[in-house]
């Protein structure tokens, strides 16, 4: 049984990712959740079940909040054995626990069971990759002509390619860098908040580092996400996203030269397990083509 929303519950603004799957059917080198800093480190503590989702919901509602938007994330969320059960439950909680429901997926596990619950999402982001002998445009063309795409015509579905991944850089920010200004340019601060059983991280980068978590406390969450939402955290001064924001904004010729010389923070996408990823990609394409 779900919990009802008190009339005074405040909306926590932004997009809150809930990583429900610890595992993935792809092995992207330098994935922040599955291969942090290219060291093979997984940063997701566990794969969640429906009881975990209900615990998070009760915690948020009891504190007097609800989320503006939640996004099921991973790993690959659709391979979680509780995926359809979680989605079907969340579909009954819209307007109570959250306002919008999103999914981030690699689109390679479109079984009939998975597709059967996708209409519950307001938005689906499909991130596809240049897997051996296959192109991003190939996936997009197959998807666009599929019966699944037709079935989801009322859902905001975005297929986008990832040809590069963010990597760490040894560039050091100048001591007089305006961290607060750079924080305003950070995409992650509003769009990549990570919800765990223990609390909420302001962004994916902070989650991966397991630092500065916002515990489930009314004042802490209200200050962090509402009253002081434009204030950077301590980690921001050393974060690679902040460094890239600086290099993109600065007129410092030495920084521009560094950017042209090394192109920090981005490298071409590669797989840590090409054989398995190719097999899973081809299986995923067949699922899409054969869906009726």
Domains, the chain, ranges and CATH? 10-167+267-290 (3.20.20.70)
The whole model's pTM is what?
0.91
The sign one gets for the Cα dihedral 246, 248, 252, 253 is: positive
144's enclosing H/E stretch is helix 136-144
Number of Cβ within 10 Å of residue 175's Cβ equals 6
Q: Which pLDDT does position 163 carry in this prediction? A: 83
Which residues 6+ apart lie within 8 Å of 229 measured at CB?
A: 13, 14
Average pLDDT over the chain, rounded to an integer: 90
Phi, psi of 237 (to 5 degrees): -70, -15
Angle, to 10 degrees, between the axis of helix 253-262 and the axis of helix 240-249? Answer: 120
pLDDT in tens, 49-89: 999 999 999 999 999 999 999 999 999 999 999 999 999 99
Report yes or no: 285 and 142 within 8 Å, Cβ to Cβ. Answer: yes
pLDDT in tens, 117-148: 999 999 999 999 999 889 999 999 999 999 99
15's enclosing H/E stretch is strand 10-19
Q: What's the N-to-C CA distance of the chain in angstroms?
A: 34
Phi-psi domain of 47 (left: phi exceeds 0; alpha: psi -120 through 50; beta: other): beta
CA 112 from chain centre, in angstroms, equals 24
Angle, to 10 degrees, between the axis of helix 136-144 and the axis of helix 274-290? Answer: 20
Number of Cβ within 10 Å of residue 133's Cβ equals 9
**pLDDT in tens for each of the 292 residues of the chain?**
344 444 467 999 999 999 999 999 999 998 989 998 888 889 999 999 999 999 999 999 999 999 999 999 999 999 999 999 999 999 999 999 999 999 999 999 999 999 999 999 999 999 999 998 899 999 999 999 999 999 999 999 999 998 877 666 677 888 889 999 999 888 888 999 999 999 999 999 999 999 999 999 999 999 999 999 999 999 999 888 888 788 777 655 454 444 443 445 567 889 999 999 999 999 999 999 999 9
DSSP state of 234: G
């Amino acid at each position: 049984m779900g919990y009802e929303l008190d009339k005074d519950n405040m909306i926590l603004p932004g997009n809150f990712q809930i990583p429900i799957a610890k595992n993935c059917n792809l092995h992207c080198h330098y994935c922040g959740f599955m291969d942090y800093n290219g060291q093979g480190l997984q940063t997701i503590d566990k794969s969640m079940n429906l009881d975990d989702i209900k615990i998070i919901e009760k915690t948020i509602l009891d504190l007097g909040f609800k989320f503006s938007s939640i996004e099921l994330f991973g790993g690959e969320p659709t391979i979680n054995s509780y995926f359809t059960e979680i989605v079907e439950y969340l579909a009954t909680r819209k307007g109570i626990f959250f306002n919008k429901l999103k999914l981030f997926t690699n689109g390679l596990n479109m079984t009939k069971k998975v597709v059967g619950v996708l209409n519950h999402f307001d938005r689906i982001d499909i991130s596809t990759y240049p897997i051996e002998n296959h192109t991003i445009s190939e996936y997009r063309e197959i998807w666009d002509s599929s019966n699944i795409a037709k079935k989801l015509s009322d859902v905001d579905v975005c297929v986008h390619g990832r040809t590069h991944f963010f990597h760490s850089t040894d560039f050091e920010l100048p001591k007089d860098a305006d961290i607060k200004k750079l924080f305003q340019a950070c995409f992650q601060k509003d769009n990549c908040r990570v919800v765990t059983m223990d609390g909420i991280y302001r962004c994916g980068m902070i989650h991966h580092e397991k630092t500065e978590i916002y515990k489930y406390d009314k004042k802490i969450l209200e200050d962090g996400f509402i009253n002081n939402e434009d204030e950077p955290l301590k980690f921001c001064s050393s974060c690679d996203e902040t460094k890239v924001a600086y290099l993109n904004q600065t007129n410092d010729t030495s920084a521009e030269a560094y950017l042209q010389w090394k192109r920090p923070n981005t490298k071409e996408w590669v797989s840590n397990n090409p054989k398995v990823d190719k097999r899973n990609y081809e299986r995923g394409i067949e699922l899409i083509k054969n869906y009726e």
